[in-house]
């Protein structure tokens, strides 16, 4: 019995060291060498200062920037509280919020229908991308606020639209952070 207990104890220590220390350190080292940008959260920098991650949504409230989808994650894009609201389609709180958002957006651009992803939250609440239709909807506001021709802003949207992966997986999408950074490169905010 004593021999079995000692063997079990030594195996527990050995597997803990192997799988709890050596393996994670090895995988972290490989990730840092082979996939450095991805392993570090795909952080984007401007003038040496971290300004955001391209894989986690963030709020852009200025009229000079493209806006992301609404977020239900904590206090807006809080990764510690990621998740949807679990409000059903008949919940009055959800209906009121969507109607208020749709009304506000329709006032911004009365000539177009409001794309659904500008008034609904994603499942995680951290979606960094919007549909090309949602970006196009915002073009007139951005052009007006920045004093740019709409064609210039549309060209930026087109250049930053990622198509379906392998031509069939997912949907076309626009990363809001990347698009806003490109917008600042073309016309720095006043």
Are 68 and 127 in contact by the 8 Å Cβ rule? The answer is: yes
Burial (CB count <10 Å: 0-12, 13-18, 19+), residue 187: middle
H helices of 35-174, in order, are 36-39, 92-108, 132-146, 150-159
Domain boundaries, the chain: 1-40, 54-186
Cross-strand pairs, 161: 174
The structure's pTM equals 0.79
* Average of per-residue pLDDT values in the chain: 87
Q: pLDDT grade, residue 188 (50/70/90)? A: low
Highest-scoring range by mean pLDDT, 33-42, 54-63, 146-155, 163-172:
146-155
- pLDDT range class, residue 141, cuts 50, 70, 90: very high
> Of 142, 85, 135, 143, which is closest to residue 115 (Cα–Cα)?
135
pLDDT tens for residues 68-92? 988 877 666 777 777 667 788 898 9
């Amino acid at each position: 019995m004593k021999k079995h207990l000692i063997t079990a104890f030594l195996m527990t220590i050995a597997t803990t060291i192997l799988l709890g220390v050596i393996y994670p350190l090895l995988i972290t080292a490989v990730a840092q060498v082979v996939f450095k940008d991805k392993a570090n959260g795909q952080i984007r920098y401007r003038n040496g200062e971290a300004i955001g991650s391209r894989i986690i949504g963030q709020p852009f409230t200025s009229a000079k920037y493209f806006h992301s989808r609404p977020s239900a994650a904590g206090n807006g894009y809080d990764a510690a509280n990621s998740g949807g609201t679990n409000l059903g389609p008949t919940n009055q709180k959800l209906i009121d919020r969507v109607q208020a958002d749709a009304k506000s957006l329709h006032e911004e651009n009365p000539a177009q229908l409001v794309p659904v992803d500008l008034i609904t939250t994603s499942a995680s609440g951290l979606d960094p991308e919007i549909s090309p239709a949602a970006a196009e909807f915002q073009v007139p506001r951005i052009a007006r606020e920045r004093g740019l021709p709409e064609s210039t802003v549309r060209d930026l949207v087109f250049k930053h639209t990622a198509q379906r992966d392998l031509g069939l997986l997912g949907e076309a999408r626009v990363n809001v952070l990347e698009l806003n950074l490109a917008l600042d490169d073309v016309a720095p905010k006043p």
